[in-house]
Structure 1
Amino acid sequence: MDNHASEPASFWTQANALLRKNLTFQKRNAKTNVRLIMFPFVLCLLLLLLQKLVDNQLDKDKYKCGCTCTKSEDGQCLEKVCGAQYSDLDQVGACAVPNPPEWPPVQQVPAPNYRAVSADFISESDLPNPSCRSNGSCPITMLFTGNNQSFGQILYRNMIPSNFTMNTSNVMASLATDLLGSASKTENTNFLESAFFSGLPVYYLQKQCTENSTFSFPLQIESYSIQQEVTCAQVLPLWRNSPSEVNNELYKGYRKGNSERQINEIAAGYDFLNSNHNIYNVSIWYNSTYKNDTGFDPIALARVPRSINLVSNAYLQFLMGPNTKLLFEFVKEMPKPETKIKFDLASLLGGLFFTWVVLQLFPVVLTSLVYEKQQKLRIMMKMHGLSDGPYWMISYGYFLALSVIYMLCFVLFGSGIGLKFFTKNDYSIQFVFYFIYINLQISLAFLLASMFSNVKTATVTAYIGVFGTGLLGGFLFQFFVQDTSFPRGWIIVLELYPGFSLYRGLYEFSQSAFSGDKLETHGMRWGDLSDSTNGMKDVLIIMFVEWIFVLFFAYYIDQVFLSGSAKSPFFFLKGFQKKPLSSFRKPSLGKQGSKVFIQMDKPDVSQEREKVEQLLLEPTINQAIVCDNLKKVYPGRDGNPEKFAVRGLSLALPNGECFGMLGPNGAGKTSFINMMIGLTKPTSGTAFVQGLDIRTHMDGIYTSMGVCPQHDLLWETLTGREHLLFYGRLKNLKGSALTQAVEESLKSVNLFHGGVADKHAGKYSGGMKRRLSVAISLIGDPRVVYMDEPSTGLDPASRNNLWNVVRRAKQDRAIILTTHSMEEAEVLCDRLGIFVDGSLQCIGNPKELKARYGGTYVFTMTTTMDHEKDVESMVQQLYPAAKKVYHISGTQKFELPKEEVRIASVFRAVEIAKRNFTVSAWGLADTTLEDVFIKVAHDAQAFEKLS
């Protein structure tokens, strides 16, 4: 096969090859991709169907504003009036409010058990003693600061009333001159002021409370009449020297989910800045504890205006006298038309269901990576020249593109059918959130893929994680998020688990969309991320940092621990290390075990070792492979001793030679090959391939290496042609040269005709897969090829054809071939090495080995068991030096020294024997390679037992 590549493939050539392979592989899995994308489609359609059912129920009279008939005739209502007064609790939310009620303005104040007192975390000493909390007598603290303290003291004295005046004939006007306060939480709307309906006390604020400090007055609101009770609450005004002191004290007492003992709330803070007789310039702090889940602050709209009025009124009185009043008469909601009750199911359930939708990508990525690992396809690609850089870039980019398409379809389809979860929230926030998360998810899949070696195990584990994360998020994590007493720091810790980060982000989208739809406002916007109750900002930061960290750690694990790419733990410092002047070094002169030195007495093995030592001393050598005292020792486990797999192997192969490795199972052949192709590291010694050290330059070796592994490593959904195109591109074949090389390779292994080349490899027979593996190992003109039992499973015709391919291929490259077929070894190999118990027992071409270890004839005779002694006596009389090597059920084999054998004498003796007893079969044969193999292996194993 003349399919030469001029030089190693560049980074972008390798990337192009892998990308083309991935796209082809993806095309083969079109049905799977459709099913994957259909999952969010089906789920969105299901949510849409459920939403229609809910809307249909809410469209019934049960959930519409209640009405009463004012005029009827013959049992038919001719005129009806609708309104809140005719509605029950299920209906009143839909009613129109053309004239909203007017409510007295109220100041937001802390509850008695939260009011500021002296504490160890507060440095100021003018706060009241904490004992006041036991009887609820703690004053309401307000802080003041400014450039002019005396001017500021005048203003805050004007702000707080000295007495409570009530004119029962005009309650609303009277209350406009007084100062009411409440610790109740305001609602999103102010149609019903929570201060008068929450059950919490209403206070009137005074400079000093008297003993008889509780009053009751009637309050008429529209058609509602309330007998309201109010209790005096003392205001404690405190001056601070700077705004930073006010801000610090406010922050320390702010309700942040701390224990009740640490909540030290200040009612308000005022900074008069540079205000004077001519300038009115004030900044106001207020307590935003009660912001709702959407970040909307009803307190700012309903109760902060009272704080503004207080200071404005105080300044006006300073200028124009105490009788001047800037009245704040009432607070009133905007009129409301009749509205339909809304219930956005998708937003309510979005946290759970959409978590499952997004997480469906995780098993897809993980199983794809584990499949490559399980089938050893990643290693196979690496051994044929695919570097780590192109692999990571294309694989990561490939999964990222799939994920982006998946999420884009998800969002577009959800928006297209009108799900508020998507349409209410800012699309740019959604894009950033999903983009960061899918990157984190892909990085996590790369990291976890290193922990699995079986696709089924990885798949089951991944799907347990998918559904477990959704259920834990919906039924556990969400309650922690909603519980304001649960420490926020622990929420951050929980969100370090990527699944909970995903759930929290989707939960925030759900809440924003739900509130936005209910209030007919927008959902989440970028400005909402600064809200302390909105967890999206924390989630984005956590996911981004985790993405970078997990991606780096996954790459590090891949480089240091995974087979086929194992490097030093400090490989990233390689650029700072001093490079060696030459790839070659002096021969190994380290200590060796006594068994190894004894084995070196064999002249052919000793001669090979001396040749290697001499070659390593030369600055330039023309050898494809040089193994220098290569050793591999596996440490002992479970009380077993350490295992010597390879014992000081020295070997030199020039270009154009096919070297055959023979040996019994467990002899160490596979361990030797694994070291040569970079799957394992040598315990000591090294080898040089095309002048490059296997310990430090495997990436360079891979660019000129071909491998036909013992087990076929193929993608089942790719065709034979596509396999060769992919590996040909990795070897830098392009254009017409690539096409020609692929066709020649297919023809050479008899896979070109009959449509076999374009048939999926998964449908190939075992022999066809074997031939394809051989073609892959030879494409692109690799300088060194390793073939592990290449003809296994082939019929005689295909085996003979394959031998012709290998014979042609070895002309300009070095080939190391392992086989159990003595015929194959004799036909293909220029030299043979018999490997037993980790040591090279002999080395030479087949004729030399047969001459060296086969200086005998093998005489075989089969008789009845009664005449076995007769046969043995006959052989001993003829040749006293004969040695019996085989004996079973009447069949005996003897080795006869060639120098003593006269063939005519053997025939004459057999004829005489036939007259005396029955001879079933007999034969006289020259020594075969198989006999040599058996003899050498037997002698070596016997020697091992003795030693």
Structure 2
Amino acid sequence: MESRRSRGLARFFRQVHALFLKNLSFQRRNARTNAAIAAFPVLLCVLLVSIQHVVDGELERPPWRCGCQGTRCGIQYSTPIQALSCAVPVPPRWPALVQVPATELRARTHLHPRSCNASENCPATVLYTGQNHQLAEGLGKLLFPPVPIRHALLPNVLNSSNYLDEFSRIVSASTAYLNLFRGQNMQMRLEYLKEMPKSAIPMRLDLTTLLDALFFTWTVQLLLPVILTYLVYEKEQRLRLMMKMHGLKDAPYWLISYAYFLSLSTAYIMLFMISGSVIGLDIFRLNSYIIQSMFYFICINLQIVLAFLLASFFSSIKTASVIGYIYVFGASLLGEALLKISIEDDTFPRLWLVAMELIPGFSLYRGIYELSEYAAAGRNMGKPGMRWAELNDPVNGMKDVMILMSIEWIILLVLAFFLDHRPAWQPLFLFRFLSTNHSSPSKKPNKLKRGFRRVHVDTKSDVFLERKVVKQLLKDMDMRNMIICHNLKKVYRGKNGNPDKNAVRGLSLALRKGQCFGMLGPNGAGKTSFINMMIGLVKPTCGTAYIHGMNLRTDMNEIYANIGVCPQHDLLWETLSGREHLMFYGRLKNLTGAALTQAVEESLKSVNLFQSSFGDKTVSKYSGGMKRRLSVAIALIGNPKVIYMDEPSTGLDSRSRHDLWNIIKRAKKDCTIILTTHSMQEAEELCDRIGIFINGNFHCIGTPKELKARYGSTRILTITTSPEHEEAVERLVSRLSPGYTRVYSVSGTQKFALPRLEVGLEAVFGAVEVARRAFPVLGWGVADATLEDVFVRVAKEARAFDVLS
């Protein structure tokens, strides 16, 4: 075995190295998942191109393609929709005439007789606009044949004779000008009109233009639920707390976790940009890659910090995942429906726009919106997209968005670290007034909180003596190599009208180095609550404890470096092997090099995981007993000063249980062990002292022999005869001890409890000899009370005391 000297706490860089190697093994086992996440944007781009290809193929079909008749194709054979895609190299001529409506279609007005349609003599009504009615009337007389012209009696209708003379002079001057330069026969004539020639324009639906900022905002934000789920998983499975209880500080955890998420996000965005550029998406191809890289780098950092912040408020993976995806899709849709309108509205207050962009999803949408707008402008005008010069454009919001996101990144980073750095049991400072926690252990119970009721503590002689020892040790300040619990209490507030639950009621205990202390008690007695307080899972309502001089309330980080924990439920990574678990926790205990390798090998051998290469198999392939043995090995590695074991032998077979007991016996020589168990055999085999814990109180404390001598005041006599001799046996026992109690009687086998003070062993032997002469005795036995008998008796007395009180 390795040296038992204290190695101290692993320093920052050693913890970083340990966590890095653990995460490297973990991510190597999850390589396929990581590759799928990183390749997801590539798949989206491929899907986008595939859909675009299918749509383009459909638009090349006859309903959309330029119409044809036989081998001839052209606009003359096309529907109005097909004509849009036809080439018109030589547009047809249009007569330079005003299209006068047919007689039957001419409108009737109050100026026209009602019978004009019948006579087919309705005048045509030609509308004109403008204020110069003289000019319009003059031009009309030149364009139309010499027929009667009527006009509406509208205001400002003037006599046009003078203006017509002026127009005639203008026309004459123009004709004279042409005759001067081109000859006398030159005239100004308008013979026909026609369109400009055009080439074939295939019908095309650009999906990137339609999806635009909404699609890319969705894609970038999809990593947020992934990161959030990973963080909440470690929180829900208490793996983070398990690492912390073995000495891992917050700073190394943040550094490695942040670096991993940043690497994954960077790979994700780089593949997205590269694949988008390769397939020709203009939002990537036309805009400056430096601007895009800066923008997305700020985005992914803000997204990681946001995930750390949100993880502080969730304890369920399912809830966190649902809320994460609702945020991703909700922020994108609201950005498209609300933020986009505000951006395009020049009258919308800029201050309100900045306030909306404080939401990370909205700021991401705004940045991608600006990139898409510049890409669209560059595509339509044949110019490059966004460049550094455009960042100073007052219409461009990209510069403001990047500044805002950078500031928000720093602020949320500090806030997230503060929320994550606080102990798991410490409430938010904003809600401290709702907390039931009190830092001073000297406060009286009636000062704790309204609704807390005084609880009576049964002060038996051994429990009372233990309290006196604790007070004397605290008075003498003798805390070296000791665990001292002083008046520890834990009260869980009742909810929905239920009363408060007093889980631990004024527990006092003193343990020295080299002792193994066992806590016996029924389910719900408060044993696990006591362990949870000692390992920092919950904060005591009142009182405190000292572990080798370190205060439970103020020095929990230092305590973590000196304890080992085997929790009631196995807290393990399913994708890591047993060896990788031990290597990681060994590094946290400051083991390195050959000492680390030797400690891991010996730990695997001691818990029977070395054979058949079980130590190199992933935990997901372990049985329940193998996981339990690995949890015990993790608690013991690194030679901690104090080891807490909550029902360590649960699920083990007989051989593994005895091997585990031998390991604990060797380990307790240089540390203090506190274990809870339901096995009386285990408690008697391992524990130097035992405390029976019922309803939050110790009802007795002592060695197994002391407890059996003090509370085992009976001898158990068991006799097996024929069923017809049961009454004769009972009469014999009644003469032997009038205060006897028959425990049970089954098919001739009877068990009697005889008062120890009334009956000696010689009297029992004599009575059995008398019985054997009177009738056949098939078997008999006498024994002192067992630890189980002591436990049952103490439990009954405690239950009766609670009923009376």
Partner of residue 415 from structure 1, selected from 263, 270, 277: 277
Aligned to 2:316: 454
- State the distance in 2 between where 1:571 and 1:396 align: 28
Contact 1:657 1:829 in 2 (8 A): yes
Which amino acid counterpart does residue 530 of structure 1 have in structure 2?
Answer: N
**Deviation string, structure 1 residues 776-802 (Cα, Å, up to 9, x no partner):** 001111111101111111111111111
Q: Hey, what's the Cα distance between the residues in 2 that align with 1:48 and 1:218?
A: 60
Matches within 5 A, 1:194-273: none
1:596-745 superposed matches below 5 A: 599-600=458-459, 602-745=460-603
Are the structure 2 counterparts of residues 641 and 20 from structure 1 closer, same or farther at C-alpha, using a change threshold of 3 Å?
A: same
How far the C-alpha of 1:902 sits from its partner, in A, is 4.0
8 Å CA contact 2:441, 2:542 repeated in 1: no
Structure 1 residues 500, 89: CA separation in 2 closer, same or farther (over 3 Å shift)? farther
**Cα offset for 1:711?**
0.4
Distance (whole Å) between structure 2 residues aligned to residue 836 and residue 76 of structure 1: 99
Larger mean CA deviation between 888-897 and 388-397 belongs to 888-897
**How far apart, in 2, do the equivalents of 1:632 and 1:928 lie?**
32
Give the aligned residue type for 1:365.
I
Distance 2:666 2:89 in 1: 92
**Is residue 348–residue 511 contact of structure 1 (8 Å, CA) maintained in 2?**
no
* Structure 1 position 571, deviation (Å): 14
Q: Give the distance between the partners of 1:942 and 1:842, measured in 2 at CA.
A: 16
Equivalent residue in structure 1 for 2:616, among 758, 761, 781:
758
Partner of 1:569: 429
Amino acid aligned to 2:266: V
Q: CA deviation at 1:933?
A: 1.4
CA change 1:635–1:460 in 2 (3 A) is: closer
Q: Any idea what SS the aligned residue of 1:650 has?
A: strand
Is residue 402 from structure 1 mapped to residue 261 from structure 2 by the alignment? no
Paired position in structure 2 for 1:351 = 213
What SS does the aligned partner of 2:645 have? strand
Matched, 1:36 2:67: no
SS at match of 2:610: coil
Shift of 1:890: 8.2
Change (3 A) 1:92 1:832: same
Maintained 8 Å contact 2:2/2:595: no
Q: Deviation string for 1:728-771 (max 9, x for gaps)?
A: 11111112211111111111111112111110011100111001
1:387-435, CA deviations, whole angstroms, 9 ceiling, x for partnerless residues?
1121122212221121112111211222233322111111122112211
Write out per-residue CA displacement over residues 26-78 of structure 1, whole angstroms, 9 at most, x where no aligned residue.
Answer: 111111112212221111122334455677789999999x9xxxxxxxx999x
- List alignment gaps of at least 5 residues for structure 2: 75-80, 91-127, 140-196, 433-438
Identity between Structure 1 and Structure 2 (%) = 56
Within 5 Å, give how 1:292-331 maps onto structure 2.
Answer: none
Distance 2:441 2:416 in 1: 38
Q: Evaluate the alpha carbon distance shift between residue 872 and residue 490 of structure 1 in structure 2; reply closer, same or farther with a 3 A threshold.
A: farther
Is this contact kept in 1: 2:446–2:453, CA < 8 A? Answer: no
**CA drift at 1:542:** 3.5
Residue 661 of structure 2 aligns with which residue? Answer: 803
Contact 1:347/1:420 (8 A) holds in 2: no
Aligned partners of 1:3 and 1:741 also within 8 Å: no
Q: Encode CA deviations 1:428-484: one digit per residue, 9 max, x unaligned.
A: 221122112212211221222233323233333333443444444445544454455
Q: Which runs of 5+ in 1 are unaligned?
A: 67-74, 81-86, 97-199, 203-210, 220-335, 573-582
Q: SS of the counterpart of 2:314?
A: coil
Partner of 1:534: 396
Shift of 1:546: 3.0
Q: Deviations over 1:83-103 (max 9, x none)?
A: xxxx9994799999xxxxxxx
User: Are residue 895 (structure 1) and residue 753 (structure 2) matched?
Assistant: yes
Confirm or deny: 8 A CA contact 2:514 2:671 kept in the other structure: yes
Equivalenced residues, count:
696
Residues 884, 893 of structure 1: 8 Å contact kept: yes
TM-aligned CA distance change 1:882 to 1:62, over 3 Å: closer
SS at match of 1:425: coil
Secondary structure of the structure 2 residue equivalent to 1:755: helix
The two structures have a TM-score, normalised by structure 2, of 0.77
Deviation at 1:357, TM superposition (A): 1.7
Give the structure 2 partner of residue 319 of structure 1. Answer: none
Determine the C-alpha separation between the residues in 2 that align with 1:772 and 1:390: 25
The correspondence for 1:776, drawn from 631, 634, 639, is: 634
2: distance between equivalents of 1:381 and 1:747?
A: 23
What letter is aligned with 1:34?
Answer: A
More deviation, 900-909/432-441: 900-909
Within-5 A mapping of 1:490-509: 490-509=352-371
CA contact (8 A) 1:587 1:616 kept: no
Change (3 A) 1:868 1:519: farther
Partners in 1 of 2:129 and 2:244 — Cα distance? 76
1:531/1:933 CA distance change after superposition, 3 Å: same
**Secondary structure at the counterpart of residue 700 of structure 2:** strand
Most deviating of 459-468 and 916-925: 916-925
Query: For each residue in 1:491-532, what CA deviation from the matched residue of structure 2 results, as whole angstroms up to 9, or x when unmatched?
Result: 444433322322222222122112211211111123323334
- Label 1:504 to 1:893 Cα distance change in 2 as closer, same or farther (>3 A): same
- Give, as a single letter, the amino acid of the residue that structure 1 aligns with 2:256: I
Deviation track 1:605-632 (CA, whole Å, cap 9, x = no partner) reads 2222111111112244433311111111
Give the match for residue 17 of structure 2: 16
Cα distance in 2, alignment partners of residues 366 and 94 from structure 1? 58
Q: Distance in 1 between matches of 2:280 and 2:765?
A: 100
CA contact 2:39–2:271 (8 Å) conserved in 1 = no
Q: Distance in 2 between matches of 1:874 and 1:447?
A: 76
Distance (whole Å) between structure 2 residues aligned to residue 491 and residue 889 of structure 1: 88
Deviation per residue, 1:323-376 (Å, 9 max, x gap): xxxxxxxxxxxxx99898897543542322222221221121011111111211
**2:698 is paired with a residue of what secondary structure?**
strand
When residues 567 and 746 of structure 1 are mapped into structure 2, their CA distance, relative to the original with a 3 A threshold, is farther
Distance between the aligned counterparts of 1:728 and 1:218, measured in 2? 104
* Cα distance between partner residues in 2 of 1:834 and 1:940: 10
Match of residue 375 from structure 1: 237
Partners of 1:776 and 1:927 in 2: CA distance: 37
> What is the Cα deviation at residue 541 of structure 1?
3.5
CA contact (8 A) 1:861 1:891 kept: yes
User: Of 824, 832, 836, which aligns to 2:682?
Assistant: 824
Secondary structure at 1:599's aligned position in 2? coil
Q: Please give the alpha-carbon distance, in whole angstroms, between the structure 1 residues aligned to 2:597 and 2:735.
A: 69
Check conservation: 2:480, 2:549, Cα contact below 8 A. no
Task: Say which is worse superposed, 412-421 or 738-747, in terms of deviation.
Answer: 412-421
Distance in 2 between residues matched to 1:95 and 1:721, nearest whole Å = 78
**Would you say 1:443 and 2:444 are equivalent positions?**
no
Q: Any residues of structure 2 matched to 1:140-179 within 5 Å, and which?
A: none
Which residue type is aligned with residue 944 of structure 1?
A: D
TM-score by length of 1: 0.66
Letter of the structure 2 residue corresponding to residue 425 of structure 1:
N
Query: Among residues 270, 276, 290, which one is paired with 1:428 in the alignment?
Result: 290
Match of 2:412 in 1: 550
In 2 relative to 1, CA 769–614 (structure 1 residues): closer, same or farther, beyond 3 Å? same
Measure how far apart 1:673 and its partner are. 0.6
2:629 maps to 1:767: no
The change in CA–CA distance for 1:417 and 1:925 in structure 2 (over 3 A counts) is same
Instruction: Decide whether the 8 Å contact of 1:634 with 1:645 is kept in 2.
Output: yes
Q: Which residue of 1 aligns with 2:2?
A: 2
User: 1:386, CA displacement in angstroms?
Assistant: 0.8
Aligned residues of 2:445 and 2:454 also touching (Cα < 8 A): no
Question: Which amino acid is the alignment partner of residue 667 of structure 1?
Answer: A
User: Could you tell me whether the CA contact under 8 Å between 1:48 and 1:419 is conserved in 2?
Assistant: no
Shift of 1:932: 1.2
Report the AA paired with residue 426 of structure 2.
A
C-alpha separation between the residues in 2 aligned to 1:455 and 1:760? 23
Deviates more, 1:14-23 or 1:541-550: 541-550
